[in-house]
Structure 1
Amino acid sequence: MNILQALFFPPEQPGGVSSMVPYILERFQTPNWEMELFSLPKRIRGKGSEQLTFATFDWTAYGNCPIVQKYMQTYRDYVWWTKLRIQKSYDLIHAHHPIAALAMKRLFPDTPIVMTLHSSFERELILNGKIQADGPEHRFLTALYRELEYQVDEMMTVSEAFKRYLTNYVEQVDRITVLPNGFDEKRFKPIAHDNAVPQLITVSRLVPAKGMDILLEACAELKRRGHAYVLHIIGDGPIREQLEQMAQRLGIYDETIFYGYMLHPEEFMPFADIFVLPSRAEAFGSVFAEAALCWLALVGTAVGGIPEQIEDGVNGLLVPPNQPIALCDALERVMMDSSFRYELARAAWTKAKQTYSLSRIVNELKCTYVKYKPVSE
């Protein structure tokens, strides 16, 4: 089969799906499979001019909103770039972003399109203070789920929690398959170490939705309680300067290291002890599985797909979102009991190896893909 993996971000960009799909391609390189990657380069902006419509709603009702206008222009740009670059046909296209799926179906209406929904753009925009819940931008973005259901041949998502979320926006949610992200175990190499001072680490885009402010408040409380630690923050984003100022104001700047963006954080993570990310929303939370494969104890929030990865007290600890004291209590518990920390990390590693193995995910993808195999092959 000849398959196109259609991303939005180029594969060298940070993020679970963009970094995961190239490893999937490696597992499909056999005589029976031909697979290519496609994405929209960041330099392509404002090139498309095609008139666009949807089958299930009139997007122009929301057209005065800048975010809607930007989204539609990106859709036009993706169509323009696809026309320019793709000169061949495929047996199947697997899209990993709504714009990619809609553009591909527009240009290749007879090619089967499998669409994986990896995250909720509208929820992140709300949490980041960019749009209002039930505002026009929110209604536009959620209307796209019904359009995708109408246009593509098969829909998938990465967690049962996100599938439940889609119940409000699609007509046949039972037809959506859940397939979590998969991770190449060979990338992750746990390292035996004994840190005298607990090393906390987080890997995240620095945006309000990820709850970094809650993490800094929890760490300030840890310091007030007399605990020594180092907090490693890997990632960048629009609120980095604000977070650095907050760390100074809370008196924990000396305990906190801001690294910025790192291409391969999995090479650094095994030297830490505890992975923590207090997200306010998370469709899946790929970084938890990555941290588990690095043999770290996990502390996260009970939102979205995170509880599907973490069973509280068994392979990690869960706390409510937006509660720094609860987060501090969880971190303190893991920091103070090395045996408990080890057992959590061991259980997390075992579950990640069994459940999120790239080999298992690839086998399930193959079962999906062969349903669309041309009869002549």
Structure 2
Amino acid sequence: MRILHVLNHTQRLNGHVHAAVDLACAQAAQGHEVFVASGGGDFDGLLHEKGIKTFTVDHNRKVLNLLKAEVRLLQALRKSRAEVVHAHMMTSAVLAFPISKLIGVPLITTVHNEFEKSATLMGLGKRVIAVSDVVAASMRRRGVAASKLAVVLNGTIGSARSEGRSEVPAALHKPSIVFVGGLHPRKGLPDLLQAVDILYQSSPNFHLYIVGDGPFRQDYELMASQLKCAPAVTFIGPAKDPYPYMLGADIFVLPSHADPAPLVLSEAREAACAVVGTKVDGIPQLLEQGEAGILVPPKDPNALAQTLQQLIETPDQIELWKQRSQYRIDYLTIDRVARDTMQVYLSALSRQTAATTANRDQPNTTG
């Protein structure tokens, strides 16, 4: 199948970009002809390496620029002869909708950030992919027909981004607690800082490592410096590859207030961390409803501190939850994501076209 992905850019440190790049590379590896139209960025080199052609379509939201973007996207669609267009963010969906109608190619959209009001516009797709069950339910409440919706849970294991990464665990003070994520309020880092401050009163031997960057980094660093637990907290800053920190971690914590289906949980489970996450949005689904990680209430530093204390003071429990992180781990592979996504594509095509495409894409097993 010929597939054209449309997204704002291909810069690192953005979850929906990582998910789209992972999917595009997996589809190319499965034998599909894949194209990406975006404003460009860090991952273009990887896309080219995997045989994916890129088109530059600037998504800047100025009227004149958007008109130019429409023309460029139309040219990309014609040059690629794509059979489906897959948009990953609101601006991409709005740009792709009229062009896909004009050419007669189905538009697929993926809702990565349903907490944004603009996510309703992702309903423009002929099929709408939700990255978790909670996201699908939210889109139904916004008026998107259930018949258009399909859930494809995020997964990262085996992604092209992980090729060649270091498998050497970072040297961390034990027992270690690691957070990886953007430093903004939605990720709930102040709750984690308050929780470890409580924990520090009775169990001061742990160390918390905060990996990531964002607009609130200085605020959070100031907050941490004023807490009693300050000696036990280290801000690592942005890391091109945070995986070694997960490999070195005893406990991985994601204290989010809102998180549709965070890729970092797939990575933390792959690294065999004992995982603690808040019971919001797609986190329970990614942790198998508590079978593969401990779920705590959001915005509750006391409950989080109690959970961390139980783990820190009972090393056997850390080992148990490291083992439990591997429960159904195969479901989090990018190959599964690509296969499930292909079924959504086929459902959007006419019955005759879908049958022709499916037969054409079958591997040749004759000698």
Q: TM over 0.5, yes or no?
A: yes
Task: Show the counterpart of 1:169.
Answer: 142
1:26 is aligned to 25
Distance 2:59 2:130 in 1: 28
1:112 aligns with 2:85: no
Question: Does residue 154 in structure 1 map to residue 127 in structure 2?
Answer: yes
For residues 75-120 of structure 1, the C-alpha deviation after alignment (integer angstroms, 9 at most, x for no partner) is: 6675466367665231111111122122112223221111110112
Paired letter, 2:341: L
- TM-superposed CA distance for 1:38, in Å, is 2.1
Matches within 5 A, 1:273-312: 273-311=250-288
- What TM-score do the two structures reach when normalised by structure 1? 0.78
User: Partner of 2:345 in structure 1?
Assistant: 369
> Among the aligned pairs, what percent are the same residue?
24
Is the 8 Å Cα contact of residues 4 and 77 (structure 2) preserved in structure 1?
Answer: no
Residues 1:249 and 1:30: Cα distance change in structure 2 (over 3 Å): closer
Query: Could you say what secondary structure the match of 1:167 adopts?
Result: helix
Compute the displacement of 1:234 (Å): 0.9
Taking a change above 3 Å as real, the CA distance of residues 155 and 225 of structure 1, as seen in their structure-2 partners, is: same
Aligned to 1:218: 195
CA offsets 1:297-338 (integer angstroms, 9 cap, x no match): 111111111111225663221111111110001111122222
8 Å CA contact 1:47–1:77 kept in 2: the answer is no
SS in 2 for 1:200: strand
Runs of at least 5 residues in structure 2 that lack an aligned partner in the other structure: 42-56, 361-367
Aligned counterparts of 1:196 and 1:364: Cα–Cα separation in 2? 40
Other-structure match for 2:297: 320
- Deviation of 1:257 after TM superposition, in Å, equals 1.4
2:329 maps to 1:360: no
Instruction: Note if 1:49 corresponds to 2:26.
Output: no
Alignment of 1:116-265 (within 5 A): 116-122=110-116, 138=117, 141=118, 145=120, 147-149=121-123, 151-185=124-158, 187=162, 197-265=174-242
Q: Which residue of 2 aligns with 1:82?
A: 73
Distance 2:191 2:277 in 1: 12
Q: Is the 8 A contact 1:48 1:77 kept in 2?
A: no
Is the contact between residue 315 and residue 343 of structure 1 (CA under 8 Å) also seen in structure 2?
Answer: no
Change (3 A) 1:119 1:77: farther
Report the residue type matching 1:37 in the other structure. Answer: V
| TM-aligned CA distance change 1:170 to 1:77, over 3 Å | farther
Q: Does 1:7 align with 2:21?
A: no
Q: Distance in 1 between matches of 2:290 and 2:284?
A: 11
Aligned counterparts of 2:148 and 2:253: Cα–Cα separation in 1? 34
SS at match of 2:63: coil
Q: CA deviation at 1:238?
A: 1.0
Instruction: State the Cα RMSD in Å.
Output: 2.9
SS at match of 1:364: helix
State the Cα distance separating 1:23 from its structure 2 match.
3.1
Alignment partners' CA distance in 1, 2:293 and 2:180: 17
Distance 1:2 1:160 in 2: 28
1:17 aligned to 2:16?
yes
Amino acid corresponding to residue 291 of structure 1 in structure 2: A
Q: Secondary structure at the match of 1:268?
A: helix
Q: CA deviation at 1:265?
A: 1.0
Q: Distance in 2 between matches of 1:16 and 1:148?
A: 17
CA contact (8 A) 1:189 1:270 kept: no
- TM-score relative to the length of structure 2: 0.80
Q: Which runs of 5+ in 1 are unaligned?
A: 51-72, 123-137
In the alignment, the residues of structure 2 paired with residue 77 and residue 288 of structure 1 have an alpha-carbon distance, to the nearest angstrom, of 38
* 1:284 and 1:306 in contact (8 A); partners too: yes
Asked whether the equivalents of residues 284 and 290 of structure 2 are also in contact (C-alpha less than 8 Å), the reply is: no
Q: Please say if residues 246 and 268 of structure 2, whose CA atoms lie closer than 8 Å, have aligned partners that are also in contact.
A: yes
